[in-house]
Amino acid sequence: MAKGEVCKTFMRRFKSGRRLRNQSVTDAGLIFGKIIRINRIIRYGGAPENTVIMNTTEEFSILIIADAHVTDALCDLISQRQPGHKYKLARAGSLEEGRQFSEHNICDCIVMNYQCFGESGLVFLENLQDEAGHLRIPVVVIAEGGSEAAAVQILKLGASDYLLKENLNRDVLINSIEYALNKYKIELQRRHDRQMMQESNKLLDAIRYIQSKFLLSPKPRALMDELLAMLLSLTGSEFGIIGEILIDDNGKEYLSTFAVSNIAWNDQTHKLYDENMENGFKFHNMDNLIGSVIKTGRAVISADPPNDPRRGSLPEGHPQLRSFLGLPIYSGGILLGLAATANRDGGYDEELVEFLQPFCATCGNIIEAHRNYQRRIKAEDELRELNHNLEHRIRKVAEKRLIQERLLIQQSKMAAMGEMISAIAHQWKQPLNTLALIVQSMEEDLEDNKIDRPYVNNVITESMKLINYMAETVEDFRNFFRPAKEMAAFSAKKAAEDILALIYQQFIKRNIDATIECTGDPLIWGYPNEFKQAILNMLNNSRDAIIELKMRLRGSMGRGRITITITEEGESAVVRICDNGGGVSEEILPKIFDPYVTTKGDQGTGIGLYMSKNIIEKNMNGRLEFENIKDGACFTIYMPLLCALNIAPMS
């Protein structure tokens, strides 16, 4: 069968409503169907059946690159459009004219006559590619008597379609252009989704980093400087500010900055910045864009600040504002502060506001922790004054209140971590949905003949399992920090396994082996999450001791080892956590469970073991002990067995 007859067969199939699916047609070794999908090489039937045609109420700019005769013919075809199609046509008689037009004008699609330019047309397509090898503009190539080799080469360079001139008509050309525009739009969306996933991962990594530093210190200024730098980097803004909303003596709100970009433009403003950098700037004037955020409690976006009715006056010499974004910072439903940025190329939008919500939640938690810290400092000052006047009588009351304050700080930090994990789960929803859509879209590629239905179904099934597993992991991690309201029966073995699963990979990276050895599966009565928190504190203590010992021995120690042993002894469940981290000094040993006692210097808080002892002994009627052993240390938890308490497991 000659190639012309093949083309006629394609046209007959199209007109009769039938579609060709990988039919092999041979002529001197020419096998179109086995090389590439036919409706991508010579699509006489227009767009594939499963293609969603774009909204044609928009006006699209079409550039035709061909000689005058061909250009006139193509323009006539495109002009024979149905109502609702809007195309703005441009002509170029050479590839150079086409290149210049596409670089200096809006161009949505290029229709190019391959025969007019030959090999130069291939170079033109290569020059249209971006760094990733994608065409910056969709291209439809028209050829006269084209060959298999030319078709494959042109499509490999990214052309959306390859049409034969002798079978060209209005419907084929219009459908091809719309298919190219739609395909390009989908590709841009996929690239956007991938970029958003990458940006989300960057944001999550930064949040985890800030969170780890936040747990070590309640002082916000150094953290806010890093958060502001992160905000400017994420948004591509020139300068910004993060501050706390306070109330002055007259009961009016004002903004006190934690971090602000240095935009000083003369000696006077340089001096002003240096004088206020330590304690922050104070902004009392609320009749401006920043004040609009505080007044409304909502995000404020301005694409033209100089002409925005909400604007305020700027000091003489202040850099010009081209765009503005103000974000309210909340914690527990209370407006605590704001973050603002300016001069982002292209301005700001609601999508960016949504993307930055975890960032705002992080700032809110830090500000809330800072206020708790200030309250604690104030309470301690009051206690010192009371002790000065009522030494003996107030001493016991003061000690009890100080312990309560410390517990409140710890609970505040744990609640903040729960909010952070909730923010992370929120940010993961979009990548999960995107991954699901990508996997499910593989079904459309069945027609490529590179995969078959069982393969696609298997990929979809396995990918959705992964998505569900990721979602469950996020939920489990969030629930871990949610305090239990009521006591319940639970397995000591299961609790240890759950917490070890969360941190096992961290231990592996540190060359630390962690194992669980059980004799039976004792049930105990208490608060499962608090019990897990206590085990986590002890595991982290062992891990840090091993890491510190390795550093002292400069790598000669070998692998670290942590063993969790669970047994029953009499009427008690016994959990032992032992390591080879070298133990603690005799000086620290008697004070190991005291608050603020740490061997890690500035890197430790001294709260973890103190909280663990309170959880085990005061909250769950157990006992926690510590001892040095050969090559390391051992924590031992004694908990009453459920059967010894005469409590039914289902109660």
474: how many CB neighbours lie within 10 A of its CB?
19
CA–CA dist 648, 129 (Å, integer): 70
- Could you tell me the pLDDT band of residue 505, with boundaries at 50, 70 and 90? confident
**Domains (range + CATH), the chain:** 3-189 (3.40.50.2300), 221-361 (3.30.450.40), 488-645 (3.30.565.10)
pLDDT of residue 430: 56
pLDDT of residue 4: 39
pLDDT of residue 39: 29
**8 Å CB contact between 327 and 349:** no
CA–CA dist 314, 288 (Å, integer): 10
- Could you tell me the pLDDT band of residue 15, with boundaries at 50, 70 and 90? very low
**8 Å CB contact between 357 and 328:** no
Mean pLDDT of 294-319: 89
pLDDT of residue 651: 45
For residue 408, CA distances in Å to 372, 414, 417, 607 come to: 8, 10, 14, 12
Per-residue pLDDT reduced to its tens digit, 542-575: 988 898 888 888 867 788 999 999 999 989 999 9
Among 148-152, 298-302, 516-520, where is mean pLDDT lowest?
Answer: 148-152
CA 106 to chain centre: 33
Mean pLDDT of 441-451: 65
On average, the pLDDT of the chain sits at 76
pLDDT of residue 499: 82
pLDDT of residue 635: 95
Per-residue pLDDT reduced to its tens digit, 221-239: 777 888 888 889 888 999 9
pLDDT of residue 462: 64
Per-residue pLDDT reduced to its tens digit, 362-421: 888 888 888 888 888 888 888 887 777 776 666 677 677 667 656 655 654 564 465 446
Per-residue pLDDT reduced to its tens digit, 73-131: 777 777 765 555 577 888 888 888 888 888 888 888 899 887 777 678 888 888 888 77
Structure tokens at 224: 């806010």
pLDDT of residue 432: 67
Per-residue pLDDT reduced to its tens digit, 205-226: 766 776 666 655 656 677 788 8
- Could you tell me the pLDDT band of residue 472, with boundaries at 50, 70 and 90? low
pLDDT of residue 348: 94
Selection from 303, 313, 370, 300 nearest residue 340 by Cα: 300
Higher pLDDT, 558 or 442: 558
- Could you tell me the pLDDT band of residue 51, with boundaries at 50, 70 and 90? very low
Q: Find the DSSP H helices in 157-251.
A: 170-216, 221-235
**8 Å CB contact between 183 and 160:** yes
| Residue 30 pLDDT greater than 80, yes or no | no
pLDDT of residue 57: 45
Mean pLDDT of 576-582: 93
Mean pLDDT of 483-501: 83
| Residue 29 pLDDT greater than 80, yes or no | no
Detail the DSSP E strand segments found in 224-369: 239-247, 253-260, 282-283, 300-302, 324-331, 334-342
Selection from 236, 234, 110, 130 nearest residue 191 by Cα: 130
Selection from 484, 561, 483, 566 nearest residue 521 by Cα: 566
DSSP assignment of 354-404, as one string? HHTHHHHHHHHHHHHHHHHHHHHHHHHHHHHHHHHHSHHHHHHHHHHHHHH
- DSSP letter at 603 equals G
Higher pLDDT, 414 or 281: 281
Among 90-94, 325-329, 567-571, 621-625, where is mean pLDDT lowest?
Answer: 90-94
| Total residue length of the chain | 651
Percent of the chain at pLDDT > 90 equals: 18
| Residue 43 pLDDT greater than 50, yes or no | no
Structure tokens at 150: 């030319």
The verdict on pTM exceeding 0.85 is no
- Could you tell me the pLDDT band of residue 244, with boundaries at 50, 70 and 90? very high
Half-sphere exposure of 539 (CA within 13 A, CB side): 27
pLDDT of residue 187: 79
| Residue 19 pLDDT greater than 50, yes or no | no
First to last CA, the chain: 81
pLDDT of residue 246: 92
